[in-house]
C-alpha cells in the first residue's frame, strides 16, 4: 500500500485494549487430574492492566454523552492502575487528567503517571483509597464546570466493559468449558460485569469473588468491603461465594508463580490464583472436573521494589506447605 492511498495500516494504542491471552497454569494443578486453572493475562493491555478496559469504557461513554468536551479535565480517585489507564487515554486523545491518590503508592506508579503527563492530588496515606475518593468527590462538587468526575466506583460503564469484553473473550477462549470464575474486588467492576455475562451464557458457572481478609492489607487495588466505602456498583449477592485472602499467601503465591510457572504477576493476581487453587483443590477432592478461570490484573513490574520478593518465605505458611507436598513430584518445583 502506498502512503496517501486512503487506507490505514496498523492499530492505534487504544485498539490494543482487550482480547488478552489466557495462560494455562499447568504446574499448579499438575498433581490434580481433571482440574485446570487459566489466567487472563491483563498486563498485555497497553496501559499494563485490566483497568484499561474500564477506563476506556468510561471515557468513550463520556465522550459520546458530551461530558468530556475540550477544556474539561477528567478527574477520578484511583489506587494506581485506573489512573495509569486514564493518563494513557488522556495523552493519546488530548484531554487533561487529574487523579486523587494516596501518597504512599509505589515509586513505579508515580513515575509512570509523571511520564504520561497526568496531574496528581496526593492524599493522606493513613486514609487509604477511601481518603482519595473523599477528596475527588469534594473537588468534583466544588468545581463541576472544571471537571468530568469519572467516578469509577459508581460508574456503570466500568462493569459494562467486562460484560461486553472480558466475559465473552473467556467464553470463546475456553470454548464454553469454563466451570468457575474467580476475580478480586476493587471497584468490583471486573467481577460484576464478567459474572453477569457468564451467567447469561451458562447459569451453572460458579462465580467466586475474592477480597482481602483484613482492612490493613498489602493487596494493592483491592478493597476489604466490610470496612471500606462500598462501591455503588458492587452487588455482593452476585457471588456464589467469597474468599478472604491473606496478604502473606498472595506474596507466597507471587513468588511461586515467578519461580515455577515463569509468570511475574502482581500481588492481586497472585491472590486470585491462590483463591483459584482453593477452588480447584476442592473440586479435585470431590472428583469433579473443573476449568477455573481467573483474572491476572497486572504484572509484577510495579511491585518489584517490595521486600517480599527477597524475604525468605515463612516456613509455616500453609500455602507453601501445601505446594511443597503437592509438588514434591513435579520436577524442578521450587519454593524459596
Ligand atoms: C492490581 C489490581 N487488581 C485488581 C483490581 C480490581 O479490579 P476491579 O476494580 O475491577 O474490581 C484493581 C483495580 O484497580 C487493580 O488495580
Q: Is 73 exposed, middle or buried (0-12, 13-18, 19+ CB in 10 A)?
A: middle
pLDDT tier, 312 (very low <50, low <70, confident <90, very high otherwise): confident
206-230 per-position pLDDT tens digit: 999 999 999 989 999 999 999 999 9
The vertex-262 CA angle with 257 and 264, nearest 5°, equals 65
Q: What is the pLDDT of residue 317?
A: 58
Mean pLDDT of 223-251: 96
> pLDDT averaged over the chain?
92
Question: In sequence order, which ranges of 147-188 are alpha helices (DSSP H)?
Answer: 156-161, 167-173
Residue 189 alpha carbon to ligand 1 centre in Å: 8
Distance (Å, whole) CA 137 – CA 130: 11
Please state, in angstroms and as integers, the Cα–Cα distance from residue 193 to each residue in 79, 119, 218, following that order: 20, 29, 25
Q: Which residue's C-alpha comes closest to atom 2 of ligand 1?
A: 221
Residues having CB closer than 6 A to ligand 1 are 49, 51, 79-82, 184-191, 220-222, 266, 268, 297-298
Residue with the three cell numbers 494516596? 102
Residue 184 alpha carbon to ligand 1 centre in Å: 7
Distance (Å, whole) CA 110 – CA 80: 9
18 pLDDT above the threshold of 80? yes
Mean pLDDT of 67-85: 95
- Residue length, the chain? 336
Q: What is the pLDDT of residue 4?
A: 53
Instruction: Enumerate helices (H) and strands (E) in the chain, giving the number of each.
Output: 10, 10
Q: What is the pLDDT of residue 321?
A: 62
pLDDT tier, 8 (very low <50, low <70, confident <90, very high otherwise): confident
334 pLDDT above the threshold of 50? no
320 pLDDT above the threshold of 70? no
pLDDT tier, 325 (very low <50, low <70, confident <90, very high otherwise): low
51 pLDDT above the threshold of 70? yes
Mean pLDDT of 26-51: 95
In ligand 1, which atom is closest to the CA atom of 189?
Answer: 10
Q: Which residue's C-alpha comes closest to atom 13 of ligand 1?
A: 221
314 pLDDT above the threshold of 80? no
Q: Which residue's C-alpha comes closest to atom 7 of ligand 1?
A: 186
Mean pLDDT of 229-245: 97
Pocket test for ligand 1, best of 187, 195, 242, 301 (most atoms within 8 A of CB): 187
Partner residues linked to 77 by β-bridges: 100
> Which has more confidence, 327 or 149?
149
Pocket test for ligand 1, best of 18, 43, 47, 49 (most atoms within 8 A of CB): 49
Residue 187 alpha carbon to ligand 1 centre in Å: 7
In ligand 1, which atom is closest to the CA atom of 158?
Answer: 10
200 pLDDT above the threshold of 80? yes
Q: What is the pLDDT of residue 322?
A: 64
User: What element of type H or E holds 73?
Assistant: strand 73-77
332 pLDDT above the threshold of 50? no
Q: Which residue's C-alpha comes closest to atom 4 of ligand 1?
A: 221
Residue 233 alpha carbon to ligand 1 centre in Å: 14
Which of 120-129, 152-161, 217-226, 304-313 is predicted with the least confidence, judged by mean pLDDT? 304-313
Q: Which residue's C-alpha comes closest to atom 14 of ligand 1?
A: 221
87-106 per-position pLDDT tens digit: 999 999 999 999 999 998 88
pLDDT tier, 327 (very low <50, low <70, confident <90, very high otherwise): low
Mean pLDDT of 247-260: 93
278 pLDDT above the threshold of 70? yes
107-125 per-position pLDDT tens digit: 889 999 999 999 999 999 9
Catalytic sites, residue numbers: 51, 268
In ligand 1, which atom is closest to the CA atom of 185?
Answer: 11
Pocket test for ligand 1, best of 186, 230, 232, 250 (most atoms within 8 A of CB): 186
Amino acid at each position: 500500500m502506498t502512503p496517501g492511498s486512503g487506507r490505514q495500516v496498523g492499530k492505534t494504542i487504544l485498539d490494543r485494549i482487550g482480547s488478552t491471552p489466557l495462560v494455562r497454569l499447568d504446574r499448579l494443578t499438575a498433581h490434580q487430574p481433571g482440574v485446570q486453572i487459566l489466567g487472563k493475562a491483563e498486563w498485555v493491555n497497553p496501559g499494563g492492566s485490566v483497568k484499561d478496559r474500564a477506563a476506556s469504557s468510561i471515557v468513550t461513554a463520556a465522550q459520546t454523552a458530551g461530558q468530556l468536551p475540550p477544556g474539561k479535565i477528567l478527574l477520578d480517585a484511583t489506587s494506581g492502575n485506573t489512573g495509569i489507564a486514564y493518563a494513557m487515554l488522556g495523552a493519546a486523545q488530548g484531554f487533561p487528567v487529574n487523579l486523587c491518590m494516596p501518597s504512599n503508592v509505589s515509586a513505579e506508579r508515580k513515575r509512570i503517571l509523571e511520564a504520561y503527563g497526568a496531574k496528581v492530588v496526593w492524599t493522606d496515606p493513613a486514609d487509604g483509597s477511601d481518603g482519595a475518593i473523599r477528596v475527588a468527590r469534594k473537588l468534583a462538587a466544588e468545581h463541576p464546570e472544571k471537571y468530568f468526575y469519572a467516578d469509577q466506583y459508581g460508574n456503570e460503564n466500568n462493569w459494562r466493559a467486562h460484560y461486553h469484553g472480558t466475559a465473552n473473550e473467556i467464553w470463546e477462549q475456553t470454548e464454553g468449558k469454563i466451570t468457575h470464575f474467580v476475580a478480586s474486588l476493587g471497584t468490583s467492576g471486573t467481577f460484576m460485569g464478567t459474572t453477569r455475562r457468564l451467567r447469561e451464557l451458562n447459569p451453572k458457572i460458579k462465580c467466586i469473588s475474592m477480597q482481602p481478609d483484613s482492612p490493613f492489607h498489602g493487596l494493592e487495588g483491592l478493597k476489604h468491603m466490610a470496612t471500606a466505602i462500598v462501591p455503588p456498583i458492587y452487588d455482593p449477592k452476585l457471588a456464589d461465594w467469597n474468599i478472604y485472602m491473606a496478604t502473606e499467601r498472595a506474596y507466597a503465591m507471587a513468588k511461586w508463580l515467578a519461580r515455577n510457572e515463569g509468570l511475574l504477576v502482581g500481588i492481586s493476581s497472585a491472590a486470585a490464583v491462590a483463591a483459584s487453587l482453593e477452588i480447584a483443590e476442592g473440586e479435585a477432592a470431590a472428583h469433579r472436573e473443573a476449568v477455573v478461570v481467573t483474572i491476572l490484573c497486572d504484572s509484577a513490574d510495579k511491585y518489584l521494589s517490595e521486600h517480599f520478593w527477597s524475604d525468605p518465605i515463612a516456613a509455616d505458611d500453609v500455602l507453601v506447605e501445601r505446594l511443597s507436598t503437592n509438588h514434591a513430584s513435579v520436577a524442578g518445583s521450587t519454593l524459596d
